[in-house]
Every structure is written in structure tokens, then in C-alpha cells.
Structure 1
Amino acid sequence: MSSIKRVVLVGANGVVGAPVLQELLKNNYDVTVFTRPSSTHKFPSNVQVLNVDYEDVAGLTKALQNQDALISTIGFGGAPLQKNLVDAAIAAGVKRFLPSEYGCDTENEKVKVLPIFPPKLEVVAYLEEKTKGTTTSYTCVMTNAFLDWGLVNFGLLLDLPAKKIQRWDGGDAPVTANSVDFIARGIVSVLQHLEETKNRAVRLNDAVVTQNQLLAYAKKYAGEDGWEVVEVNGEAMEKEAYANLKTTPEDPNGYLLHFIKRAIYGAEFGGNFEHNNDNEVLGLKQKTDAEVEQLVKGLVK
């Protein structure tokens, strides 16, 4: 039986945070959500909501008293603030800290050197150092691409609503993609498998797909006509991203998704978790191709 009862969730109304909140409540955890004072988001009545200042370590420490776990789903821009959460969690005696990973495999050496990932790497290194000799441990949850979300947002896998796809290197690379509800179940399962997931990364593997496979499903249910297919060379896009970062660093539109997609699809970037995942440890089962097809069918409008 897990010793985790009381959980603090940061970023509870985000892409990952919202389904995590529902999964925590489904599993009868006592949930507290941290929000900024300016937040007007409404949460269920059985969720305690605390307005916090992420720059105030003493205040965060007080808010984390008697809490068992902290799950951070904070966005890219807020990643550095997690160091204050780490300090506060250790001071308050929080047992398990899950930093905001939920993306590409940042233990892969090729991923590490891409310039958008250092904020995440710094948080993990900080966790490793600061939790030594304490009662606080950590788990980093890695997912590679988002599956359902990535089919309808930013053309991460493809853009179903607009019938567009930016096809990377021919579209036949098998990559791991996780639906957001699967990610939520994996995160909550970490809390139920503390010893097996202690002080390490875990990898979730909901499905292994190719862009061409997803495009075929999309055409089957959304129709063959009207698709815009843009062929992309991964190495060329990586070079373009570096150039854009150098000339216009203030504009992430010129490089952020380029680097993310390079890490998702590039064979040497480790984005296929099929033979390197923790599904069995966490009690999770990978989708079949038929189940992936049904997911795509359900997203077609």
C-alpha cells in the first residue's frame, strides 16, 4: 500500500495537469492545487486551492507542510521556478517530487544538447543534488510525443482540423506517443510504486506510431482529399532552428517546435520507447494499432 495520501498539484488546469487532477481524484487522493493569486480558474469542491508566490520559498514550505507528494506540470516558461518548489518540498519533508518533464527523453545525449532543454536538465540536476541525504525522492516521467493532443495542436504529429502534415524524413520513423489520459495514469501510478520508481526516470509507452500510419487513419475517416503534405528534412530543420535562435531569440516560433519535433522524430534522439519503457512496472498496457485507429477516428470532426 502506498504511503502517499496527500498530493499537491502545480499547473492543474494545463494539458497534463487537468487529466492528472481527474486521475488523482478518481483514485481518492487528498488533492491541493497551487495557483497564482491572479488565477480565476474554478476547481471541483473537493480540491483545496492555495494561492502561492513561487518566488517565496518560506511560503511554499509552509504550504507544503504535511503533504506527501508534489506533482509539477508547470509549462516550459516556468521551469526554473521549480527549484524553489524543490527547496520547499525538501524543507517540508515531502516524500516524492515529480518535476515537469512529460516530453522527450532528456537522458539522451542528442536531446541534451538541443538548446531548449537546459531548463529541464537544470531542474533534474538540482533535484539529484538537493535530495541527497533527505527523505525526499523524485521521479521524472518521460513521454516523447503527445498522441491525442498532438493530432490537433501545433501539428505536432499532424493537424487533423486543418488537414495538414509536416512529414519529417519521410514519415516512417516509429516513435512513442502518449495520450494525455495515459500520461495521467502513469503519473498517478508512480505514487503507487514508490520504491520501483525512486530517483530515476520512467518512460511511458502508450503507442508506437509513424506519421504515415496516422495520416492513413486520418485520410480514412476525414477523407482523402484536401490534405497538405509538407516534406521536411530533420537535419535541415535543426540547422534552421539554430539559425533562427541566433537571429531572433525572442521569437520561439522560429525554433521551439523545430527542436521538439527533431527530438521526437530523429532516430538517434531516442524517441521510440517500445523496448525501453516502464509500462509493466506501472501496470500500464500499450495500445494496439486498432485502438490507435479508433482514437484517430474519434478525433475526426
Structure 2
Amino acid sequence: MSAYKSFAVFGAGRLGSAILAALAAQNAPVIHLSRSGSSKTVPPGVTVVQVDYTDAAAVAAVFREHKVDVVLATVGMEATGVQKLLADAAKLIEVKLFLPAAYGIPTEGHLGPGFVAKNDIVGYLKNIGIPSTVIHVNGIFIEYIPMIAGCSDGKIRIVGDGEAPISFTSIADIVGFVAHALTTLPESELENHIMRLEGGSTGWDEASQRKGCGRDAAGAANALWPGHQWQSIKEVHNL
């Protein structure tokens, strides 16, 4: 049984909006943290709270007012500084859990610009003593395949012989897993854990160029959502 009852989400792009909707569908109190003056549309059941992202005390007051247990960030790496301020605010009221914007391929031990920014916020949470759950997604979002592969005529172009290992995971599955995990799993399964999701079955980790094992295996966290059927490329794109 989850100990988390109330949620705050920062970021309402494609992934963030879907997470807001999924949490609201669980009848959980959920707020969307919005910049002052923003007119972003959010799913039904979500409360929009405009806040000054330069003032940790003001953000903490919002968390306290709405009795927030979990803070989720779903923003790009350019917002690392804002995530740190949200973490400071979370620390002020001892929020139970923080999910940083670490979605995408595993970042540990990698030094590229995107990797460093994501690792930085994870390290910051650890240093200030905020429990965190890091969710990595092995491979590319299935929904992005047409854009990446240039499918303007309904055909996917494959470079090379088509034998290179690669994995794909749907945004719907990622979002569903987040809502499921936060509303059903105990704290012991979430606090300070790195979770790896994979919709496909290759097990290939692009960042490390190998197959992992144990908790480091691609898709290791899939088992925490028993009975779920992970979507295929054909299902997502109605092929």
C-alpha cells in the first residue's frame, strides 16, 4: 500500500500532461506548478497553482498548503536549476519523495551534456537528504518514431541492415507505470531506487552498449507492474 497521497508536478509538456492525467485518474489530489501568468491547459481534476520559481519559501508554502507528499519534475535539462529550487522547497517541509526529470536512457557514469545535467539533480537530492525515485526508459519513445525516422509517406527508413539492437517504450506505458508505482507500491520499493523500464524485449542498454543484469537490466522495473501488457510499435501506431 502506497504511503503517498498527494502530488505536485512541475512541467506540463507531452509527458508531464499525461502524468497529471494519470494521477488525477487515480482520484489522487494533484497540483500542477505553473509560472505566474501561464495559461497552460491541464487535464480535468488537476489544480493549477501559479508560483514564483525563484522563491523556495513560496514554493514550500504551496507544498504545505496542498499537503504534497511527492514532487515530480518532467522538464528538459535546461531546467536543472529550477529542479534544485524545488528540491530545496521540498526539503523545507520534508516532502516524502522527489522524482527528478531523468526520463530517457540511463545516465549513470556518462559525461555527455544531457547525462551530466540529469545526474547533477539526482546527486543534489541525495546530498540534501530528499528520498528520490529515478525512472530511466530504455530506448526511444515509440510515439517519436515517425519524427525520428522521417515517416512522411507512412514508411520507416532503416539505416544499415536492420540488425542493430534497439529498444522502444511508449509514453502511455511510462505514464501508466508512474501512476501505478506511486499509488500502489510501498515506500521501500521507491525510495532511493533507480527504475529501468523497457517496452521492447531486446534488453539492450544504448548508454552502456551492453545488456545489464539484476536491477541494472533494461526493463527490470517492469515486474513491479504485474499483469500489464507493454505496448508494441504496431499497437501504438495502429500498424
| Match in the other structure for 1:204 | 197
Amino acid at match of 1:176: S
Question: After TM superposition, where is structure 1 displaced by more than 4 Å over at least 4 residues in a row?
Answer: 263-267, 269-276
2:99 counterpart residue number: 98
In structure 1, the partner of 2:16 is: 17
Within 1, Cα distance between the matches of 2:202 and 2:32?
A: 34
Could you tell me which residue of structure 1 aligns to residue 137 of structure 2?
Answer: 143
How many Å separate the matches in 1 of 2:60 and 2:96?
13
Shift of residue 205 of structure 1?
Answer: 1.4
Q: 1:239: which partner in 2?
A: none
TM-score of the superposition, structure 1-length normalised? 0.69
Match of 1:35 in 2: 34
* Unpaired stretches in structure 1, ≥5 consecutive residues: 211-262
Contact 1:70 1:98 in 2 (8 A): yes
Report the secondary structure of 1:152's partner residue.
helix
Partner of 1:50: 49
Equivalent residues of 1:175, 1:208 under 8 A apart: no
Shift in Å, 1:145: 3.0
Q: Distance in 2 between matches of 1:4 and 1:265?
A: 33
**How far apart in 2 are the matches of 1:297 and 1:148?**
12
Q: Does 1:113 align with 2:107?
A: no
Q: What CA distance in whole angstroms lies between the structure 2 residues aligned with 1:295 and 1:45?
A: 24
Distance 1:271 1:296 in 2: 29
Task: Note the residue ranges of structure 2 that are not aligned, 5 or more in a row.
Answer: none
Alpha-carbon deviation of 1:276?
5.1
User: Could you give the per-residue CA deviations for residues 118-145 of structure 1, whole angstroms, max 9, x where no partner exists?
Assistant: 11111011011111xxxx4110000033
Change (3 A) 1:53 1:270: farther
Instruction: Evaluate the alpha carbon distance shift between residue 25 and residue 266 of structure 1 in structure 2; reply closer, same or farther with a 3 A threshold.
Output: closer
Equivalents in 1 of 2:32, 2:233: separation in Å? 32
Q: Contact 1:152/1:161 (CA < 8 Å) preserved in 2?
A: yes
Aligned partners of 2:122, 2:173: CA distance in 1, in Å?
23
The percentage of aligned residue pairs carrying the same residue is 26
| Aligned equivalents of 1:102, 1:264: Cα separation in 2 | 14
Conserved 8 A contact 1:176-1:271: no
Cα 1:275–1:69 shift into 2, 3 Å: closer
Separation in structure 2 between the aligned mates of residue 271 and residue 105 of structure 1, nearest angstrom: 11
In the TM superposition, residue 266 of structure 1 has moved relative to its aligned partner by: 6.3
Match of 1:179 in 2: 170
Offset at residue 283 of structure 1 (A): 3.0
Q: CA deviation at 1:79?
A: 2.3
CA contact (8 A) 2:63 2:90 kept: yes
8 Å CA contact retained: 2:211, 2:217: no
Distance 2:176 2:100 in 1: 16
Deviates more, 1:40-49 or 1:182-191: 40-49
Does 1:152 find its partner at 2:164? no
Paired amino acid for 1:206: G
SS at match of 1:50: strand
Q: Distance in 1 between matches of 2:134 and 2:72?
A: 10
Most deviating of 87-96 and 42-51: 42-51
For 1:95 and 1:266, the matched residues in 2 are separated by: 30
Cα distance, 1:85 vs structure 2: 0.7
Q: CA offset at residue 209 of structure 1?
A: 6.2
For 1:113, the aligned partner's letter is L
Count of residues in correspondence between the two structures: 232
Contact persistence 1:177–1:209 (CA under 8 A): no
| TM-score computed with the length of structure 2 as normaliser | 0.85
- Residue of structure 2 in register with 1:5 after alignment: 5
- The amino acid that maps onto 1:102 is Y
Question: Which digits, 9 at most, give the CA deviation of each residue in 1:40-59, with x for residues without a partner?
Answer: 12224522111112221111
Contact 1:265 1:271 in 2 (8 A): no
3-state secondary structure, aligned to 1:117? helix
